[in-house]
Chain A
């Protein structure tokens, strides 16, 4: 195999199986599951639809073993991701982002004109196909505006977690700038990591309340 193909492998590397078997263990899976819980929440916040975090972890595992749906795979490169948990998290994040992007951009890919009234060409279709079509085409341009509006409302509610808590307010500002790792937040704010972790605990408690209100 030419060198450029070795570095940019474009097919699944079956020799990875043994390293995966050795890497997967309870501690890693629990960290990954916790990550998947918050990715599911993100999905719910953005789409109002539910995702089971266990399903997300399973999908990521299947992809890393090269047995994902429709032949899907992800090659784990231990040099790039020495921590296997981090690798699985990136896989989960990309699965969720893909699902969100798909739902949010669907009107652009839709076969329907946005303001056109179409003849019901599914009238003679099988019920299962009809249901699928109905669920896929439920997002209209109007829905999209509502979506953007509700996203703003959600962000306002999430940002309001920091009301009356100056430290949390500063962390929220970091998050607005896309800084999300406690160590980076610590560098940015000058708070030590323990202090950032305490803020994290408070935010988790508050976010649980927000989740219930959604």
Chain B
């Protein structure tokens, strides 16, 4: 009995859902016909459209601001990470730095940007800077994956 009621309820909901979609249908309707329908529903198409376009513009600006804020916070995080790793490897020899770098180069995300370079030709100081960058990039990747 309860199942019958449930089924009946679902059928009723399906009908109302389909009816609303059908009545709202604008397939093969010209924009003039859509405007006329809005007027019949007591809506001034021009006033409403302007209001909605203005709102969309505001959303676009908010989205841009959000994007800029996000970029700024990412920059801050990179700078903080760079500061943290600066000078960490000064005590290491060139060979030790190269060995540490190999671990990072196993990462599919970081390897492509370094794999083409002939690291043996780089000075110890250059390698130290690259290692610091690699460490920062690895940390950023981990943070991003954590966020997702």
B-contacting residues of A (Cβ < 8 Å)?
5, 10-11, 14, 17, 20-21, 24-27, 29-31, 33-35, 37-39, 41-42, 45-46, 53-54, 57-58, 61-62, 65-67, 85, 89, 93, 148, 151-152, 154-155, 158-159, 171, 174-176, 178-183, 185, 193, 197, 200, 203-204, 207
Query: Please, what's the 1-or-0 string for B1-29, where 1 marks a CB less than 8 Å from any CB in chain A?
Result: 00001001101111111111111111111
The range of chain B's interface size is 35 or more
Contacts of B56 in A (CB 8 A): 20-21, 24, 29, 61, 65
Contacts of A11 in B (CB 8 A): 147-148
Task: Tell me the smallest distance from the CB of A207 to a CB of chain B, in Å.
Answer: 6
In the complex, what residue of chain B is closest to A63 when comparing beta carbons? B59
A-contacting residues of B (Cβ < 8 Å)?
5, 8-9, 11-29, 31, 34-35, 37-38, 40-41, 43, 45, 48-49, 51-53, 55-56, 59-60, 62-64, 66-67, 70, 147-148
* 19 cross-chain CB contacts under 8 A: A5-B148, A29-B56, A30-B48, A34-B34, A34-B38, A37-B24, A37-B38, A41-B20, A42-B17, A46-B13, A151-B12, A151-B16, A152-B8, A178-B17, A181-B22, A183-B27, A185-B22, A193-B27, A200-B23
